[in-house]
Amino acid sequence: MKLAPDEMRQRFRARGLKMTPQRAAIYQALAGTTSHPTAEDLHRQVRRQHPMISPNTVYYTLGVLREAGLVYEVNYWHDRSRFDANIDLHHHLICLGCRSIQDLTDEALDRLAVSDRAKAGFSITGHRVEFHGYCAACCRRGRAGRGVGTDERRSDEGSLGVL
């Protein structure tokens, strides 16, 4: 998952973004995990290399990367935004127990279509499927399902995982 510095430079340049040590660290941290961290998670992580980096810079940078299409922002029933450097089409498994998000790649799901009648003038540019349920860890812990859109709070197991 470690992104080559040249590759990163490449991607930034292609979208006319300036490269700074802070941005490199933020993007690197995000590209190096599949845990869909929050801005705060990323700030904690990046602070190890850049002790003076401000949360502000993390928010600003994530905004810039999002506008440039280099990161994707998700917010299902979370109290804050989560980010993903995987911008290839993929889908999500969202745990109603711990609120974790796993990526799901599935060719068949990439090809969904809607009848012209049903979409009634809406012009579709993309889609994504969210599956709800309970992750392996929460199943093991014995999590009976409540409804979707419910408010169980995450038990929070450090959403940056190993790095």
Partner DNA sequence: TTCCTTTTTAGGAATGATTCCTATATAGCA
Partner DNA sequence: TGCTATATAGGAATCATTCCTAAAAAGGAA
| Smallest distance from its own copies to CB 13, Å | 18
Cα distance from N-terminal residue to C-terminal residue, the chain: 10
Strands 91-95 and 82-84: unpaired
Dist CA 117 CA 40 (whole Å): 43
Residue 94: exposure state from Cβ atoms within 10 A (0-12, 13-18, ≥19): buried
Pick from 126, 142, 156, 162: which binds its own copies (CB under 8 A)?
126
| Residues from 36 through 65 that contact DNA (CB under 7 A) | 38-40, 50, 52-57, 59-61, 63-64
Asked if 62 touches its own copies (CB under 8 A), the answer is no
Asked if 124 touches its own copies (CB under 8 A), the answer is yes
Asked if 23 touches DNA (CB under 7 A), the answer is yes
Binding mask 95-134 for DNA (x = CB under 7 A): ----------------------------------------
**With contacts defined by CB under 8 A, how many residues of the chain interact with its own copies?**
48
Binding mask 33-52 for its own copies (x = CB under 8 A): --------------------
Helix (H, G, I), strand (E, B) or coil at 84: strand
Q: Which residues contact 161 (CB under 8 A, 6 or more apart)?
A: 33, 34, 35
- Do 77 and 99 contact (CB within 8 A), yes or no? yes
